[in-house]
Amino acid sequence: MASPVRVHPDSALLQPTRSGSVFSESSLAHLKREEMDVENLELVDSKPRLDSSERGLTGLYLSCFDMLFTEEAAWLVRVADSSGSVSVGPRLEPCPEPEQCPVIDSPGLGGEPLSPGLEDQVEERSLEQVQSLVVGEVLKDIETACKLLNITPDPVEWSCGNVQKWLLWTEHLYRLPQVGKAFQDLDGKDLCAMTEEDFRQRSPQCGDTLHAHLDIWKSAAWMKQRCSVGESRITAGEELWSEADSSCSGQPIHLWQFLRELLLKPHSYGRCIRWLNKEKGIFKIEDSAHVARLWGLRKNRPAMNYDKLSRSIRQYYKKGIIRKPDVSQRLVYQFVHPV
DNA sequence: TAGCAGGAATACT
DNA sequence: AGTATTCCTGCTA
């Protein structure tokens, strides 16, 4: 079954954790039921690829490019016909994000057996990485759908037409029977107020599936709202260590922020930079050249290298932002004020 | 050889 | 002005 997100069959991954996934267990479990054939999760790149030779890989997602550039053309015409207003173009450009490390960092792989305690830590980290990966992919797919359908991410704001677009999209994506008519009189508010039972009554075949997907959209909208509220609430002092994504702020990004961004996305960058001790803010740059290249890309400094990047890090010593840990190790640094 | 430390000049915002 | 970049010398593992 085609789906933008595939979740590891291990149901433990679907449980809410202290890292705070807001996607309800039932929603994710529903997706799990639909598509769970993924065993080699760690092999997956988080970026869409056009290379057809790679489509056969067991993947975490159905590439949005697959969806957009192949069979979707005909489908989009259908959406346009049914809603009368969807604008298909402009074609989504491949994300200009810097190249990413395709493999989830897996400490211990191929190495010595880990002690039980360490094993627990590794397992917990892997779970967090997978969950963060899944949530990230869900959010990306929602964003893609919003652009394509020209609808807002928050279902509550949808008009009846928006609801129909979303239904068509979801039906198409998950190969569901067409049930748009059963929901044709509803706008976003109505839809969001409906229980799973209401959905089943309107569509016995796939009401539960639609309800689960809507639940995910609602959760994503909630997350987004929470994020924006948080940004406006933080004070200048708190801003330093907030979770706010610096890429949205419009301000030039600082190197320490950039490093934290990488560290907060272990599923994408865990291979080039990772926490050694998150509580203490100790991290290790595993691939100095790669991190420098990413920094150079972000700052549009093609000549950036680790020598220069590390000089910038050392400038933070005096400012009390980053320091060397008590036991100095190569490529290991420590945030003075950990999260 | 790569990484580290820090001075100094310069560029950028 | 603050921050980052660039280049440098010298040191260390």
Local confidence pLDDT in tens for the 339 residues of chain A: 333 333 333 332 233 333 334 455 455 455 444 433 332 323 223 333 323 333 322 222 332 323 322 233 334 434 444 443 333 333 333 333 333 333 333 333 333 344 444 455 555 555 555 556 666 777 777 776 776 666 788 888 888 888 887 887 777 667 788 888 888 888 888 888 887 888 888 888 888 888 888 877 877 776 666 555 444 433 333 333 333 344 445 678 999 999 999 999 888 889 999 999 999 999 999 999 999 999 998 898 999 999 999 999 999 999 999 999 999 999 999 999 986
Give the 3-state DSSP-derived string for chain A, with helices as H, strands as E and coil as C. CCCCCCCCCCHHHHCCCCCCCCCCHHHHHHHHHHHCCCCCHHHCCCCCCCCHHHHCCCCCCCCHHHHHHCCHHHHHHHHHHHHCCCCCCCCCCCCCCCCCCCCCCCCCCCCCCCCHHHHHHHHHHHHHHHHHHHHHHHHHHHHHHHHHHCCCCCHHHCCHHHHHHHHHHHHHHCCCCCCHHHHCCCCHHHHHHCCHHHHHHHCCCCHHHHHHHHHHHHHHHHHHHHHHHHHHHCCHHHHCCCCCCHHHCCCCCCHHHHHHHHHCCHHHHCCCEEEEECCCCEEEECCHHHHHHHHHHHHCCCCCCHHHHHHHHHHHHHHCCEECCCCCCCCEEEECCCC
> Whole-number Å distance, CA A229 to C1' C3?
29
- The residue whose CA lies nearest the C1' of nucleotide C7 is A308
The set of residues with CB closer than 7 Å to nucleic strand C is A 254-256, 295, 299, 301, 303-304, 307-309, 311-312, 315-316, 319
> Whole-number Å distance, CA A289 to C1' C8?
21
Nucleotides of B under 7 A from a protein CB: 2-8, 13
* pLDDT given at position A193: 83
Note the Cα A127 to chain centre separation in Å.
Answer: 14
Nucleotide nearest to A285 (CA to C1'): B3
Just give the CATH number of A126-227.
1.10.150.50
- Residue ranges of the domains in chain A? 126-227, 255-335
Nucleotide nearest to A313 (CA to C1'): C4
Among A127, A177, A144, which Cα is nearest to A19's? Answer: A127
Nucleotides of C under 7 A from a protein CB: 3-8
- The residue whose CA lies nearest the C1' of nucleotide C4 is A312
> Whole-number Å distance, CA A188 to C1' C9?
66
> Whole-number Å distance, CA A251 to C1' B12?
14
Nucleotide nearest to A301 (CA to C1'): C5
Q: In Å, how far are A9, A11, A98, A121, A320 from A241, measured between CA atoms? A: 35, 33, 23, 24, 13
* pLDDT given at position A288: 95
Calpha distance A93→A113 (Å, rounded):
44
Just give the CATH number of A255-335.
1.10.10.10
* pLDDT given at position A87: 35
> Whole-number Å distance, CA A285 to C1' C10?
24
